[in-house]
Amino acid sequence: MKTTLQRLLDRNREWVAERTAGDAEFFTRQALRHEPHYLWIGCSDARVPANVVTQTDAGEMFVHRNIANIVVPTDNNLLAVLQYAIDFLHVQDVIVCGHQGCGGVRAAMGETSLSLVEAWLDNVRNVQRLHATELDAIADEDARYRRLVELNVMEQVFTLSRLSVVRSAWARGVTLRLHGILYDIADGVLRDLGVSLDGPAADRA
């Protein structure tokens, strides 16, 4: 009986065979250059793989993922990815992608006993507090949850726009666009949230 790891390795070999059958030089080209067009900041949820839902090929998408697709100004991992993408890979589009059905956002609305997750989700609770008036006016709990998912993405885009790496790039005249999009697991569709920025936004409280 094959192990779960062996099944993954077998699928890899099948994928390699399929790619080289249609394009014998595919991996040779991949090895020679790394020139992604996008930086994708998404949720760690296994149901939202960036390349699959966007139908982009290997090499097109530079990816950073964490629970609830949060942009934290003190997260050195995210900051390193962002700087590398902008200053070395010359990516011009940075996408924050959230998704309906996000367990992280759902947990932030309730309680969790996992201490590390709890601390991380305080970032979502900050979004919840910032938009408390709007959210409290939504009587239906599921509708309130779905709106918080949207607001969380939007706030992460605004946080991105205030980071020194991004502001420095804009100050140098670098073409850099920030976008917020939403994926719905229930139907597989990506939706633009209309919060794209190509320069500093007005500072928000």
Q: Where are the domains of the chain?
A: 1-33, 34-192
Helix (H) or strand (E) holding 123: helix 115-130
Q: Are 47 and 4 spatial neighbours (Cβ–Cβ below 8 Å)? A: no
Does this model's pTM top 0.95? no
Interatomic CA distance for residues 104 and 46, integer angstroms: 13
Annotated active-site positions, please? 43, 45, 47, 99, 102
Average pLDDT in the 10-31 region? Answer: 94
Please spell the DSSP secondary structure of 55-80, one letter per residue: TPPTTSEEEEEETT----TT-HHHHH
Split at pLDDT 50, 70, 90, the class of 117 is confident
**Which pLDDT value is given to residue 164?**
96
Q: What is the per-residue pLDDT across 52-87, written as a single tens digit (0 to 9) for each?
A: 999 999 999 999 999 999 999 999 999 999 999 999
49 token code pair: 């793989």
**Which pLDDT value is given to residue 118?**
87
pLDDT(204) > 70 = no
Q: What is the per-residue pLDDT across 150-196, written as a single tens digit (0 to 9) for each?
A: 999 999 999 999 999 999 999 999 999 999 999 999 999 999 999 99
pLDDT(205) > 70 = no
Q: Reply yes or no on domain 34-192 having CATH 3.40.1050.10.
A: yes
177-184/189-192 β-pairing: antiparallel
Split at pLDDT 50, 70, 90, the class of 202 is low
| Residue carrying structure tokens 């099948």 | 14
Quickly count: other Cβ atoms within 10 Å of residue 76's Cβ: 8
Output the average pLDDT for the chain: 94
Interatomic CA distance for residues 23 and 155, integer angstroms: 42
Higher-pLDDT residue of 115, 20? 20
Interatomic CA distance for residues 203 and 160, integer angstroms: 12
